[in-house]
């Protein structure tokens, strides 16, 4: 789907990849409905859009509250006239801790935002996407959605649920005008730990040089290209692409490699 003059809703648009997606879509000629519960973050996104903000609307909404979403849809339709795309980008990580030590409230928060928030948005927006001649849904997953990461087990489980749900949705919508993609970012230089309310991991200085991340802008470009190419999977970053190949070839080897990287952090 060509994004020019299309109206695309983006969740998590108040920071990180969501903000980069908003700005990239605007630069390509799309109209964007920014969605985030962080009103201050939305205002910053709008400010960075500059003169392009005439094609932008901002909506301070909590995607875990499904009762507010029909009103959100109506607001977007009123301001833009139609909805052609949905990028479910909003997400949080869990505290960096083990299954034994994590609290149930932290598990429920991750599942409510990452999985149920995505489901809520799809259920609210799909009836309005189906009548369009062409439309697209992208659900942003994670490399952690297909390879296990100790210390982020429930974050990974929430993203694995998003992965399989998205692939099933793709199959269900195969004979419609709606394209469906799932994106797998590797390491991206965002402030997800800050916005998740999670203290950053205590990575030894000697190992920090081994941690590389791509910019949110590069991630946004890859996701929008995936929309335009009607891609089934969108792997973002060389780490995601490489780990996908390794995991397909030898899942246990891939899991052991990640475990070795995390064992000092978690004292496994």
Domain CATH number, residue 216: 3.40.50.720
Count: domains in the chain: 1
pLDDT of residue 202: 53
Convert the pLDDT of each residue in 157-211 to its tens digit: 999 999 999 999 999 999 999 999 999 999 887 555 554 455 555 544 444 445 5
What is the SS3 assignment for 88? Answer: strand
Q: Which residues of the chain have pLDDT under 70?
A: 190-211, 268
What whole-number distance in Å separates Cα of residue 26 and Cα of residue 54?
Answer: 10
Q: Which of 161, 152, 58 is CA-nearest to residue 101?
A: 152
Dihedral angle computed from the Cα positions of residues 240, 246, 252 and 253, in that order, rounded to the nearest 10 degrees? -100
Provide the domain limits for residue 187. Answer: 7-266
Q: Is residue 2 part of a domain?
A: no
Q: Is residue 74 part of a domain?
A: yes
pLDDT of residue 266: 76
Convert the pLDDT of each residue in 50-59 to its tens digit: 999 999 999 9
pLDDT of residue 211: 52
pLDDT of residue 180: 98
Question: Token pair of 54, please?
Answer: 């005439």
pTM, entire model: 0.91
Q: Is residue 1 part of a domain?
A: no
What whole-number distance in Å separates Cα of residue 33 and Cα of residue 172?
Answer: 26
Q: Is residue 253 part of a domain?
A: yes
211 in active site: no
Which is catalytic among the residues 116, 155, 211, 232? 155
pLDDT of residue 195: 46
Q: Is residue 114 part of a domain?
A: yes
**DSSP assignment letter at 52:** G
Count CA atoms closer than 13 A to 185's CA, side-chain side: 27
């Amino acid at each position: 789907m060509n994004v020019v003059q299309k109206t695309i809703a983006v969740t998590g648009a108040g920071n990180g990849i969501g903000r980069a997606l908003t700005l990239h879509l605007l630069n390509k000629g799309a109209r964007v409905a920014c969605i985030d519960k962080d009103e201050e973050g939305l205002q910053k996104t709008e400010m960075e859009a500059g003169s392009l903000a005439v094609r932008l609307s901002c909506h301070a909404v909590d995607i875990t509250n499904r009762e507010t979403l029909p009103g959100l849809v109506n607001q977007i339709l009123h301001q833009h006239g139609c909805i052609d795309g949905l990028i479910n980008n909003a997400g949080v990580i869990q505290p960096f801790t083990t299954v034994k030590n994590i609290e149930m409230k932290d598990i429920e928060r991750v599942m409510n935002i990452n999985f149920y928030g995505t489901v809520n948005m799809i259920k609210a927006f799909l009836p309005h996407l189906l009548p369009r001649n062409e439309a697209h849904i992208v659900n942003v997953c994670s490399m952690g959605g297909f390879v296990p990461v100790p210390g982020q087990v429930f974050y990974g489980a929430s993203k694995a649920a998003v992965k399989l749900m998205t692939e099933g949705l793709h199959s269900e919508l195969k004979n419609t005008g709606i394209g469906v993609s799932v994106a797998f970012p590797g390491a991206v230089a965002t402030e997800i730990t800050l916005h998740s309310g999670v203290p950053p991991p205590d990575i030894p200085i000697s190992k920090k040089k081994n941690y590389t991340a791509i910019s949110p802008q590069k991630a946004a470009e890859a996701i929008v290209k995936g929309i335009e190419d009607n891609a089934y999977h969108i792997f973002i970053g060389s780490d995601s692409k490489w780990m996908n190949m390794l995991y397909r070839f030898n899942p246990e080897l891939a899991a052991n490699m990640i475990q070795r990287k995390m064992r000092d952090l978690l004292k496994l």
